[in-house]
């Protein structure tokens, strides 16, 4: 009953608690003592369809809302040392993985295109030649910014098989992006988007943020319509969240109302334009299904994360480097990564072991917070138990019109989708909540 009353309380509070897009949250990770041998972990896993992710923790600026593991870095010697360490780590990880196949590739950060052309090519070479991912044969995505997506870098990415570009635009109103400490201008963004489209990438994703300082519903819809002029295959709509150690500081009920109104107006517009809603944040053209064929399943296949700040997922262990938001904390962790002896990459010393309950909760949340919903039969087959037998509190979602049930599935309603982050936060396990509450952010 405690869990159920907590949901009632959350629904009367802000619908914006914390981003929920994975489980468990990275602030639930802790040092592993003793460290676990990488070979022992991965040799228990199916390695036939892995997701390969590289993290490049460098940006040309630090946005006011950002709590990602990234820093402003202009010292090319430091970047070069980072890439050398990335190759050392990749060599050790490939040895630990043994025979393996990759079904998807993503290069994120940070801003990967903050790297020089040579540095970007080095990362792609590591992915192909050191790790063994055939970039021409699998879906690949790279994050870019308007300032760094040059003609030469986009040409390199397209030539190497990258078929999806994701760009953080946030707003087409110069004063709105300036309020979140970005220097870009709308004309520059349009030039970059035109360049991306001309290169013929099969998939373009544009990120926008609602709830920015000074933003109105009219200016928000203006940015969305400017985005639609480029016909991106995907659009992500992010509510602005204010989090510790970032540059933003605003929170009140009126702001909640504005964000909710922005979300609803954007959802209506995108649906009218023929986009499908995949989750609270993700909208997609139906035609992109051919590009994003489900060769990788996040519920069943593992993810190999390389680089400082990357997370890796196995069936029972999620692991990463330590996490920080402040420049001093990030700098210290990055320096420790660069200074690591090569043999240190043979071990995992920081992460989270998922017991049966957390594996169940992860499966439920990832399914429920997307448009696929929870397949009751698949849950039964996977965990040898009924969903409502394991978690009777989920019936509360039906009672509150947050979800609907058929004979085969449970899916969020329109009301439930817009409160996805609230529902996700409510469903975290007691263990994860305790660890998150006790985490000291640096």
Residues 386 and 276 in one domain: no
Nearest to 234 by CA among 261, 190, 186, 274: 274
Residues 376 and 258 in one domain: no
* Best CA proximity match to 412, nearest among 376, 357, 378, 368: 368
pLDDT for the residue 243? 55
- What value, to the nearest 5°, has the Cα angle with vertex 101 and ends 200 and 363? 90
DSSP E strands, 152-212: 164-170, 203-210
Dist CA 408 CA 263 (whole Å):
29
The answer to the question of residue 80 being in a domain is yes
Asked if 139 and 244 sit in the same domain, the reply is: yes
Per-residue pLDDT averaged across 377-406, rounded?
Answer: 96
Q: How does pLDDT run across 146-178, given as a tens digit for each residue? A: 999 999 999 999 999 999 999 999 999 999 999
pTM: 0.92
Pairing of strands 30-37, 282-284: unpaired
Domain boundary among 268, 290, 312: 290
CATH number for the domain that contains residue 423: 1.10.10.920
My answer on whether 279 and 373 are in the same domain is: no
Residue 246 belongs to domain spanning:
30-290
In a shared domain, residues 223 and 86? yes
- Has residue 279 been placed in a domain? yes
And the tokens for 64?
């006011």
Q: Can you read off the two tokens belonging to residue 142?
A: 């790279």
- 6 plus 44 within the same structural domain: no
Domain boundary among 267, 290, 313: 290
Query: Within this chain, do residues 6 and 129 fall inside the same structural domain, yes or no?
Result: no
Residue 146 lies in a domain: yes
Q: Note whether residue 336 is domain-resident.
A: no
Cα 246 to Cα 181: distance, rounded to the nearest angstrom: 11
| CATH at residue 220 | 3.20.20.70
Flag whether 190 is in a domain.
yes
- Tens digits of residue pLDDT in 328-345: 888 899 999 999 999 999
Q: Is residue 338 part of a domain?
A: no
**209 and 180 part of one domain:** yes
* 424 close to 22: Cβ distance less than 8 angstroms: no
φ, ψ (nearest 5 deg) of residue 272: -65, -25
pLDDT value for 246: 47
User: Is residue 251 domain-shared with residue 362, that is, in the same domain?
Assistant: no
Mean pLDDT of the region 393-416: 96
Overall domain count for the chain: 2
In a domain, 237, yes or no: yes
| Token representation of residue 270 | 């995108």
Q: Specify if 423 maps to a domain.
A: yes
Could you tell me what percent of the chain has a pLDDT over 70?
Answer: 91
Q: Which of 239, 270, 290 is the last residue before a domain boundary?
A: 290
Specify whether 249 is located in the same domain as 128.
yes
**68-82, 243-257, 301-315, 320-334: the lowest-pLDDT one:** 243-257
Quick one: 182 and 266 in the same domain?
yes
pLDDT at position 7 = 77
Annotate 287-297 with b (16+ C-beta within 10 A) or e (fewer). ebeeebeeebe
Cis peptide, bond prior to residue 34, ω within 30 of zero: yes
- Residues 6, 64: one domain? no
């Amino acid at each position: 009953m405690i869990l159920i009353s907590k949901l009632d309380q959350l629904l009367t509070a802000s619908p914006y608690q914390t981003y929920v897009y994975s489980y468990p949250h990275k602030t639930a990770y802790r040092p592993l003592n003793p460290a676990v041998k990488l070979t022992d972990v991965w040799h228990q896993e199916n390695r036939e369809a892995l997701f390969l992710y590289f993290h490049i923790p460098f940006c040309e600026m630090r946005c006011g809302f950002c709590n990602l593991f990234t820093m402003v870095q202009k010292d090319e010697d430091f970047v070069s040392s980072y890439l050398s360490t990335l190759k050392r780590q990749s060599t050790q990880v490939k040895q630990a993985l043994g025979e393996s196949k990759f079904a998807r590739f993503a290069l994120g950060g940070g801003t990967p295109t903050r790297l020089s052309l040579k540095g970007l090519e080095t990362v792609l070479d590591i992915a192909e030649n050191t790790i063994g991912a055939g970039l021409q044969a699998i879906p690949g995505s790279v994050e870019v910014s308007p300032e760094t997506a040059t003609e030469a870098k986009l040409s390199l990415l397209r030539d190497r098989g990258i078929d999806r570009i994701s760009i953080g635009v946030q707003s087409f109103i110069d004063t709105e992006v300036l309020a979140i400490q970005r220097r870009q201008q709308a004309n520059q963004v349009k030039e970059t988007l035109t360049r991306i489209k001309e290169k013929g990438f099969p998939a373009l994703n544009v990120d926008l943020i609602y709830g920015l300082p000074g933003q109105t519903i009219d200016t928000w819809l203006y940015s969305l319509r400017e985005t639609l002029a480029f016909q991106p295959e995907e659009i992500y709509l992010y509510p602005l969240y204010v989090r510790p150690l970032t540059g933003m500081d605003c929170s009140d009920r009126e702001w909640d109302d504005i964000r909710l109104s922005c979300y609803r107006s954007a959802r209506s517009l995108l649906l009218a334009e023929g986009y499908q809603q995949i989750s609270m944040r993700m909208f997609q053209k139906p035609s992109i299904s051919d590009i994003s064929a489900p060769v990788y399943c996040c519920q069943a296949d593992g993810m190999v994360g390389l680089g400082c700040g990357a997370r890796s997922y196995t069936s029972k262990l999620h692991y990463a480097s330590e996490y920080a938001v402040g420049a001093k904390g990030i700098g210290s962790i990055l320096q420790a990564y660069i200074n690591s002896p090569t043999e240190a990459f043979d071990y995992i010393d920081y992460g989270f072991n998922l017991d049966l309950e957390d594996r169940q909760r992860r499966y439920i949340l990832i399914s429920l917070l997307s448009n696929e919903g929870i397949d009751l039969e698949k849950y039964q087959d996977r965990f040898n138990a009924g969903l409502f037998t394991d978690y009777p509190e989920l019936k509360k979602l039906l009672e509150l019109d947050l979800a609907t049930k058929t004979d085969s599935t449970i899916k969020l309603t329109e009301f439930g989708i817009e409160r996805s982050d609230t529902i996700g936060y409510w469903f975290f396990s007691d263990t994860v909540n305790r660890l998150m509450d006790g985490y000291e952010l640096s």
